[in-house]
Structure 1
Amino acid sequence: MRNLLAYLNARRAMLIFFALTVLIIRLLGYLAAQDTVYVKYETVLVSFAFVCVVLIDGGRYRRKLRQLQQIGLRTELLPRELPDPNDALSREYDELIRAFCKENEQLRAKYNLESAEQEEYYTLWVHQIKTPISAMRLLLDNRNDENARLLKQELFKVEQYADLALKFVKLGDIAGDLVVELCDLNEITRAAVKKYSLLFVYNKLSVEIEPLEKEVVSDSMWLGFILQQLLSNCVKYTHVGGVRIYMERGALVVSDTGIGIRKEDLPRIFEKGYTGYNGRMDNRASGIGLYLSKRAADALRIQISVESELGKGTKVSLRFPIRDEFMEM
């Protein structure tokens, strides 16, 4: 019905012309004192011709509209699937769309090239910065005083920030970086905890890992990254107690006994650059870690949710997709 109304609106000039034609035929028949039978015949003939034109034109309009609607759902079909223009105005629109598509392809190619160069630069930078970090860590390994332990922690943080910068760039095209497969959840979780063991030990925080579901459908590298960001927040905002990792109703849960998150901050914790009350109290917070974790989780079809109570701790749940959900991607 909507398409019919749209067609009638597009052809209103033709409808007005038909109505005027019928009116003129009747008026001329009246002025010429012509027999009404002939006037009716003339009206019927004109109406029949008009209906034939409408049916033919309406069929073309409908086919063209369907093509455009399909293109609207799949813009990658532009411009090769554009309907053939049937008049001068349509040809002008067709040429304009093709010009826009060509410019868009050029801009996309330029963006892809710049993104690739940026990722290459950050990758090179991260690998280069790790060389002096490793050298300083070797020098500190020969010392066991308090200052050496503090410096080891700071070196670890520098290395993590460098990796975070690289992940930030890679997230621009994360689909091309994903390797989705069955992953050992125990192995990935324990590797993430081991990576942060230095900070856990220094801050005297406990870590409890309960038996976890053996395998999940995910990308091991990006899942590890998500867990590392969650553990980083646990260490940063937990001063007494520790972290507990366990399964609950099919979801992986990372909970801590930290300072918690304010109720008004919870809806915005995954926003880029948002630090909330805790972040304002801690000038080291950047508001990037959870933002990147949420983007990676979305790409992996992982449902991530957060519960928190101020002064009691925070609980983050990761619910993994089934294999069929990735087949639909």
Structure 2
Amino acid sequence: MQSVSNLGLALDSDERVFVRDKVHIVLGDALDWYDQWPSPTVIISDGPYGIAGFPGDPPTPDVLAEWYEPHIVAWSKAATPVTTLWFWNSEHGWANVHGVLQKYGWSFVNCHIWNKGISHIAGNSNTKTLRKYPVVTEVCVQYVRRAEFRVGHRVMTMQEWLRYEWERSGLPLSKANEAAGVKNAATRKYLTKDHLWYCPPPDVFERLVAYANQYGDPNGRPYFSLDGKRPLTAKEWANMRPKFYCEPGVTNVWDEPSVRGPERIKVPDRINKALHANQKPLKLTERIIRASSDPGDVVWAPFGGLCTEAIASHKLGRVHYSAEINPRYFKIAIERLKTYDRS
């Protein structure tokens, strides 16, 4: 690949893809690239907000549902039960897209508030005209693809399937406690029908499976199987749920100033002019990647912008794919990745 260090040069056709280690940045619409990317463990969406903030950003959040739908369809096709989606937007923008995400099988987990602090407005909000309090927040909303289990024409949740398989074995529910090696947690948590349900850890699931297949009705074996030939393993069960690691002291409110100082990318030759109106802090990007993936996992950023997600993925040892449709942003994102030193 030829160098693109001269930001004034036009891109050649062979410069549509830049790779450093296992981090990839491509030029173009993500819709043209999704089929070429491996299945993601993490998707970070930081696309249009419906505020006419850049060419292609709709002027109003009211049309965001239609705008995002083809992307959401592609995400749903590529995702697995391990996948976590982090959806950045304004509160209004997210509210308009939420229904489409649900339509295509994404389950809401949590809404995280990025509080940029009072310095974000610095007294520049005309409340007499706008007639509302100044806005210093955005949201980063966490969604997952919950596992589905098909039994005949019925589609079951993980909770429903666990109980169904145990009951199918003909064993009393109380025997699940013996199988799991607990006093009452199996019936009270793992096999309950109510909202107090807990997913059994892989080692407990493995014990339940072994017990049911040893002592359950021989005519129904194998139990807890997806193919009717063998039961699921502990490892396969673990891959039925998205990863999540909570750092101590972190809540759903993220107090972090807007990007400034050396981290802020400026317009060349205009020191005080930010290149991108809504550059995300590297600190927050690293946080959500660490929270929902392990080293070696795949991270997608369909709307790369200045590709902070690519920098964070490289630093954290993830495999990464960003798409950016703006050639100027694309070239500068490449320069960021080329010159970034993760040591």
Above 0.5 in TM-score?
no
Greater helix fraction, Structure 1 or Structure 2: 1
Query: What TM-score do the two structures reach when normalised by structure 1?
Result: 0.18
Structure with more relative contact order (C-alpha pairs < 8 Å, separation 6 or more)? 2
Greater strand fraction, Structure 1 or Structure 2: 2
Computing the radius of gyration from Cα coordinates, the structure with the larger value is 1
Query: What TM-score do the two structures reach when normalised by structure 2?
Result: 0.18
